[in-house]
């Protein structure tokens, strides 16, 4: 175990499927393991009832859950950081509450902890009061955008220096396409004469 590089992946994520997002994290875990680095998962609430999470637990992966109680969760994070010799916290979809907990852990128990926020979309300041509260409660050492566009705009909007923001283009696990569910038009009451096309209801400017 390389105690100086172990990673805690924090996820505010409750989904019926892990999707490409979690497949990418598992691939990252495999790559880090090959380099002697451990990766641990912490989710914002108990999602052990979801089948794909159950499967990961059955595989023996290190997965923890927060309770919703601030002080109990602080203790949980402290124990995880100590037990697994965590060096990096990589936070996805996290809010002010979670970053406040990581800041306290960093200040009181492990001042060399590196806190990383993954940026999933373009963002801009929400006003003087809101930004003042966020800055007081939160600490982030590095921001990682899901695209170059997200990183550039975040750096500009929040007036951060170049070394504070970087980007890693979102990954796609194409192996997921090798095993798929075959759908029938009849299951959806679609006639054979009807044209079917795939449409994404999202603005992918951020990509």
Render pLDDT for 53-64 as a digit per residue (tens, 0 to 9): 999 999 999 999
At 2, the pLDDT band (50, 70, 90 cuts) reads: very low
Tell me what the mean pLDDT of segment 128-157 comes to: 92
Chain segment 163-202, per-residue pLDDT in tens:
999 999 887 777 777 877 888 888 889 999 999 887 655 5
Comparing 3-17, 131-145, 164-178, the range with the smallest average pLDDT is 164-178
| C-alpha Rg value of the chain to the nearest Å | 20
Three-state SS string over 78-146 comes to HHHHHHCCEEEEEEECCCHHHHHHHHHHHHHCCCCCEEEEEECCCCCCCCHHHHHHHHHHCCCCEEEEC
CB 127 within 8 A of CB 157: no
Please name the helix (run of DSSP H) or strand (run of DSSP E) that holds residue 144, with its range, or none. strand 142-145
Burial class from Cβ neighbours inside 10 Å (0-12, 13-18, 19+) for residue 158 reads middle
- Alpha-carbon torsion angle 27, 29, 68, 107, nearest 10: -140
Q: How far is CA 46 from the centre of its chain?
A: 16
> What's the token pair of residue 184?
């029938």
> What's the token pair of residue 92?
């996805």
Cross-strand partners of 118? 92, 144
CA dist 140 and 115 (Å) reads 5
Tell me what the mean pLDDT of segment 140-147 comes to: 94
Chain segment 52-108, per-residue pLDDT in tens:
999 999 999 999 999 999 999 999 999 999 999 999 999 999 999 999 999 999 999
């Amino acid at each position: 175990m390389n105690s100086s590089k172990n990673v805690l992946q924090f996820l505010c994520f409750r989904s019926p499927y892990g999707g490409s997002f979690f497949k990418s994290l598992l691939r990252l875990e495999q790559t880090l393991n090959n380099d002697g680095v451990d990766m641990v998962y912490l989710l914002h609430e108990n999602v052990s009832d979801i089948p794909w999470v159950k499967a990961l637990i059955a595989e023996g992966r290190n997965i923890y859950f927060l309770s919703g109680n601030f002080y109990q969760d602080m203790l949980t994070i402290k124990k995880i950081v100590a037990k697994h010799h965590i060096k990096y916290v990589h936070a996805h979809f996290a809010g002010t509450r979670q970053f406040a907990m990581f800041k306290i852990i960093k200040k009181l128990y492990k001042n060399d902890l590196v806190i990383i926020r993954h940026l999933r979309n373009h963002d801009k300041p929400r006003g003087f009061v809101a930004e003042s509260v966020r800055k007081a409660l939160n600490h982030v050492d590095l921001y990682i955008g899901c695209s170059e566009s997200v990183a550039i705009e975040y750096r500009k909007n929040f007036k951060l220096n170049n070394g504070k923001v970087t980007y890693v283009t979102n990954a796609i696990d194409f192996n997921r396409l090798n095993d798929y569910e075959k759908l029938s038009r009849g299951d959806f009451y679609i006639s054979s004469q009807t044209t079917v096309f795939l449409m994404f209801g999202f603005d992918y400017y951020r990509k």
